[in-house]
Every structure is written in C-alpha cells, then in structure tokens.
Amino acid sequence: MTESQKRNPSEPEEETHKPPDDLSTRVIPGLAARVGSRVLAEPAVPAPAAAPPTRPIGPVSPSPKRTEGWLPEGTVLQNRYRILGVLGAGGMSVVYKAQDLRFPKVTRLCAIKEMLNTTTDPRLRALMVQNFEREASILATLSHPAIPQVYDYFTEGDRAYLVTEFISGKDLEALLNETEGFFSEAQVVQWAIQICDVLTYLHTRQPQPVVFRDMKPSNIMLDDQGRIHLVDFGIAKVFQSGEKGTMIGTEGYSPPEQYRGIAEPRGDIYALGATLHHLLTKQDPRLEPPFSFQKRPIHQYNPAVSAELQEIIYRALEYDVQKRFGSAEEMKRALLSLKSARGLAATAYISAPETVRPDALKVIWQFACEDEVRSSPCIHEGILYIGAYDNNLYALDAETGKFLWKYAAEGGIASSPVVAEGRVFFGSIDHSLYAVNAETGRLLWTCPTKGRIFASPRVQFGHVFIGSDDHRFYAVNVANGRVAWSVETEGAIRSTPAIGPDAIYFGDEAGILNAVGVNGRLLWRFRARRALTSSPAIAHDLLYVGSQDWFVYALDLRAGWVVWRYRTDGPVVSSPTVVGNTLYIGSADGHVYALDATNGYLVWRYRTGGQVTSSPTVHQGAVYVGSVDGCLYSLDAQTGQLRWRFQTGGPVVSSPRAVNDIVYFGSLDHNVYALPI
C-alpha cells in the first residue's frame, strides 16, 4: 500500500487511492506503490545488513535518496533537544536520535519522530496531522515497559514532533538478517511470550482495547537486556467494535479481515503468528503470496521446530478470526506449555508424530514363504496372489492368510502377478511367462523368452504385454500363449508397461521410454540419461515415469516430449501413482515425494530410513509405501505426515496393495503381511 494509505487508517476509501506525489521516489522499502491503474505490492526489500544499530519508534531503514528537509546534526529543537542523527525514515516521517539538554549532567537520549510535510493537498495534510496526533495520544495513555514512553509533543513551524523514550537495541528484522542459521525455538518462544504480555496489556485497555495493527519483526525491538519493545504506533487504533475502515498494516503480516477494513485484537494475534513464522523459517512473508503460511509448513524450512509450536503458530494464523486464540493471554498459556518454554529441548519435528501412534500395530495375518518376497501382491475375488524367490506363486485367502495353493516355476518370481479372465499371469527369472488357473493354480500355458523376466505383465485387448531381459517386449495371446508380436529394445526391460487408449508405454534399462501402437509399431521414444526401471503411469494425458538419472518425468502422452521434470536426490526405481492432481513416488534418496501432477511442483516429501524402491499406493487419504529400512509407512496423503509405520525383518521393496481396509505387502524377511489400515 502507499505511504498515504498506511498513514490514513480510518479515512474514506478514495483517499487511500491517491497516487503518491512523485512516482519516481518509490524507494521506500516495505511499502507498496500505486502505478497507473493498478497497484503493485512493492518488493519488501529486507532491511540492509547495515541497518542502524539502534532504532526506537519509527518506520523502516534510512532512505538514502531522500534527505531533503531532514534536520542536520546539531540542530536544537525547543531549546531542549539536540539532534544527534537519523535513526530511520519513512515516506512521511523521520526519526532522529536526540539528546535532552535539560539534563546537563547526564546524557539522556530520546527519539524524536518528525512528521514530514510531503503533500500540498491541504485535506491530506490535515489527515496526516490528525494521525500523528492520534499516535501521540494513544502512546500517552499507555504505560508498559515494552511500550515507548512519551515525553513530549510539540509543533515548530509547520512540522510536528513526538518525543519518546530511546530504546537502545536492535529490531528483530535486522537481527534476523544478520544471524546465520535459525534462532532457537526457546529463544523465539521467549520473545513470543513477552509479545503476548504486551498485547494483553493493549487489548485490555479500558474503555476500549488498543489494536497495534502493525506487528512485524521490524516493529519489535530487542533491547540490550534482551527485552522486547513494540515500536511504531503510527497506525495503532482504539478499537471500536464492528467498525470498518480501510485496509492498513503491512502486507504479508496483516490478517485477512484487515483487507475488509476490520481491525480487532485478534488481528494482532494473526500478525504475531506471521511474525513467528518469519522468525523461525527466515521466509519473508512480504515476498510470498498473501496468506500462504499454511502452504509453507515451518518444519519444511526449519526441522528443529517442534510440532507443538508449529500448531500454536498455525492456530494464530487461522483465516477465520473465531478459530484463532481468543486472546493474547490464551496464546501465552499455550506457549508456556511448550517444552521449549521450560528450558527443555524441543522435540524435533520429525520424531514428534511417532508418539501419535506407537508401533503396536496388530498384524491381521502373516504368511512365511521360503525366500525373499520382492513381488507385489495382487488381490482378486478374496484371493491374494504373490510371487517369491522360492520359485513359487502363492495363492492365499486375503482375509485370513490361509494357504490355498502354490505353483512352482523353475526360477524365482520377482514379477507381480495380474489376474484377468480367470487366469493369473506372471513372469519368472527362469525366462518364461506363465498363465495358471486363478482358482486351482493349474498351468494353462507358458511362453518362453530368451532372458530372465523381472518385469510384470499387463493384460489388455486380449493380450498379455510383458518385457524381458532379452531386450524384447512381447504381446502374447491370452488364450493360448502365442506371441502376437514382439519389438526389440535397446536395453533389458524391467519396467511394467502402461496401457493407454491406443498405445503401450514401457521403459528399458538403456533409459528409453518406448511408445508403441497396439500393433507393435513404434510411435515415439524418449531417452532419459539412465535406466528406466520404473513403470510408467498415465493420467491427465501425460505419461509419468521415474528414472535412475534421479528425475521424475511427465511426458506428453501422444508426442513424447518432456512437459515437466522433477529432480530428486537419488535414482528413481519406484513407480509413480497419480491420484487426482497429486503424483506419489519414492526415490533411492530415501524420500517419498508428493508432486503436483500438472506442473511437478513439490507438495511434500517424507524421509524414510532407507531407499524407497517400492511404489506407493493411495487408499482413503493415506499413502502406503515400503522402504529398504524394513518398514512399511503410512503417510497422510495431503500433508505427508507419518500416520504409522510397521517394522519387518527385512527391506520392503514390494509395493503394497490396500483392499477392504487391509494393506498387503511382502518383505525380504520372506513374509507376506496383512495389516489393518
């Protein structure tokens, strides 16, 4: 907003839209400028590192371009105050450091705020004077150690002056800018408690509460004793219930209702929340979209912040006034209940949710195979099918885990079975694709290839589609196991195909994503920098796939060009799952990622204890995925917060399936598990 808006809180709206007198002097940091018909929120330049060492009341840092009309050093006002220098300046006022000459034996310092005569518009000028007087009179009625004391108010010529207590110290914005790393949680909580105290004082004034309206790091001074002082009451206001006026405050910190012209005590609580968010994350809200704190969780920037403090800050930042703390006193009580407020180490954010639900998860059933289970389960009509490295394909009762039958191949089964037309299809490292009866396990046919089969089949158009380590991709007739066609690829195929309306897509170990027509004719190819072991997924007319070159790619389904890509910190073997607008995938960097499926922007990521090569599955708002650390994780699909995890005796590379409130998966500890959701 313009300086005129900032200084004219309760005036008619059209006043706030007056352009500043001179557009070229738009140099005041932290304030917005109006240009042409449209207003741009002015870049809130963080205070320069060379901010003044001390700064009492008054806005922003000195503006080098505008010194005209400032009082030179040595000027004496009222025969009493000698100007020692400029502490800060805004568009409409300057704050000087001065010495009070009536105390000759000691150096008594004070701060003098001078209202600059910047406008020729008599009406605007009258408003400025009125506001300046209001600031003086509000301050004069207040008496609190954290609020500057008013000593004097006078006019000289056409200028008005406000003399206040001088506070020696530094404002929190300057401190934030010169501090490397983050402030400790305990430190910030101590400041927050002090601020709640002074807000409680302001909000309980009689007959009407005082609303500060401009809480932000640069208006909070930390004196040499480590005590907090609120400065700049330039827009503070005696609260009249239900009153509407114009929007004022500092964009980025102001509560939503302030844009509707409502200023009330709980607006200060919001701005305090915004201030705490800034102090803990070092993310300046004036450089972010308005009201976007919830989209920028504190622990993502500063993992040392406890979940409890984050919860308090987000309650202060509720858009709905009714959902915030009812008073600063209530917020203070919440802050006092924190471990970090009692001098105890804060619980790091990451470990906090684990207390939500201990690992005492009751297994519904588990079934021991004779070797590692890398295959992912397939559940069909109450039967779970899964392959194991003991060469067997197992059929188990999904509800009880009771063994129904097994079919022994000649080699281990890493491939994940699929069921279609009453048959189970799967590949084996013995080079063959198998079809067995889904009810009895009786062999129907085998289709030999010239390489081991790690990939999994897909069934569509009456054909089974599967790739082999022999660098060929096969389309096999469902009924008789005859090869309808096959295509040669550059690399071995470990990726399971995705089937679109008129094409089939699969990756190979040479890093090529092949798109072929249903007749086997090549449509397009995309070459990644490393192997494409991940199995592609189709959604939004895009083809999503991970690569061992660390990227997750979104390709145009019909033409194959890259629409977006996202770089993780390790090879991506895991396969994407897209639900609605979100894509979930794991990486060998140990994280589970949630990305915006239309543009690849990170929604959240969660760190497990090992590589994530298992592919996530999403069920009823939760993501289930295994990790090489031996755990199956259940994460909140929206926030990425841990719901629970379950430890097995070996790495979990199998991808879970969730059906009827049960999640199924295999582990390298040889077991198949069924867990309650």
Active site amino acids: 214
Assess contact for 450 and 470: CB atoms under 8 A: yes
Selected range binding other proteins among 273-281, 468-476, 535-543, 616-624, rule: CB under 8 A: 535-543
Residue 563 touching other proteins (CB under 8 A): yes
Q: Which of 362, 402, 361 is nearest to 382 (CA)?
A: 402
Q: Which stretch binds other proteins (CB under 8 A): 98-106, 365-373, 521-529, 663-671?
A: 521-529
Burial of 520 (0-12, 13-18, 19+ CB in 10 A): middle
Name which of 319 and 403 has its Cβ closer to other proteins. Answer: 319
36 binds other proteins (CB under 8 A): yes
Q: At what angle do helices 185-203 and 328-336 cross, to 10 degrees?
A: 150
β-strands 81-89, 617-619 pairing: unpaired
Residue 177 engages other proteins in binding (rule: CB under 8 A): no
Assess contact for 272 and 188: CB atoms under 8 A: no
Q: Quick one: 23 exposed, middle or buried, by C-beta within 10 A (0-12, 13-18, 19+)? A: exposed
Q: Name which position in 209, 481, 491, 600 contacts other proteins (CB under 8 A).
A: 600
Min separation Cβ 463 and other proteins, Å:
20
Under rule CB under 8 A, residue 603 binds other proteins: no
- CA dist., res. 268 & res. 317, Å (int): 10
The residue from 17, 282, 315, 406 that contacts other proteins (CB under 8 A) is 17
Q: How far is the CB of 105 from other proteins (least distance, A)?
A: 50
Please count the residues of this chain forming the interface with other proteins, following the rule CB under 8 A: 65
CB of 603 to other proteins, least distance (A): 15
Closer Cβ to other proteins, 2 or 347, answer by number: 2
Interface with other proteins, residue 569, by CB under 8 A: no
By beta-carbon proximity to other proteins, the closer residue of 125 and 565 is 565
Which residue's CB is nearer to other proteins, number 76 or number 562?
562
Query: Does residue 503 belong to the site contacting other proteins (CB under 8 A)?
Result: yes
Question: Please, which of residues 242-271 interact with other proteins by CB under 8 A?
Answer: 246-247, 251, 256-257, 259-260
**Interaction between residue 26 and other proteins (CB under 8 A):** yes
359 vs 490 by CB, closer to other proteins: 490
354 or 502: whose CB is closer to other proteins? 502
Residue 636: helix, strand or coil by DSSP? strand
Q: Which stretch binds other proteins (CB under 8 A): 70-78, 138-146, 202-210, 539-547?
A: 539-547
Under the criterion CB under 8 A, does residue 558 sit at the interface with other proteins? yes
Residue 230 vs residues 184, 211, 213: alpha-carbon distances, Å: 21, 12, 11
The reply on whether position 317 binds other proteins by CB under 8 A is no
Rule CB under 8 A: choose which of 394, 526, 544, 624 binds other proteins. Answer: 526
Residues β-bridged to residue 539: 542
Alpha helices in 254-405 (DSSP H): 265-281, 298-301, 307-316, 328-336
- Is 553 a binding residue for other proteins by CB under 8 A? The answer is yes
Opening angle at CA 626, ends 625 and 631, nearest 5: 125
Judge whether 535 and 507 are in contact, CB under 8 Å. yes
| Dihedral class, residue 104 (left if φ above 0, else alpha if ψ from -120 to 50, else beta) | alpha
Among all chains, which residue has been given the structure tokens 């932290």?
30
**Cα gap 274→266, rounded to integer Å:** 13
Q: How far is the CB of 652 from other proteins (least distance, A)?
A: 29
Q: Distance between CA atoms of 113 and 118, rounded to whole angstroms?
A: 15
Q: What residues pair up with 424 in beta bridges, in sequence order?
A: 419, 436
522 forms part of the interface with other proteins (CB under 8 A): yes
Using CB under 8 A as the binding rule, whether residue 602 contacts other proteins is answered as no
Render the burial of 234-254: b for 16+ CB within 10 Å, e for the rest.
bbbbbbeeeeebbbbbbbbbb
Pull the structure tokens for residue 151: 């000593």
| Binding of residue 498 to other proteins (CB under 8 A) | no
Residues 158, 121: Cα–Cα separation, whole Å: 14
Choice between 349 and 551, CB closer to other proteins = 551
Binding site for other proteins (CB under 8 A): 1, 13-14, 16-17, 23-24, 26, 32, 35-43, 246-247, 251, 256-257, 259-260, 287, 289-292, 319, 502-503, 511, 517, 521-529, 540-542, 547, 549, 551, 553-556, 558-565, 598-600
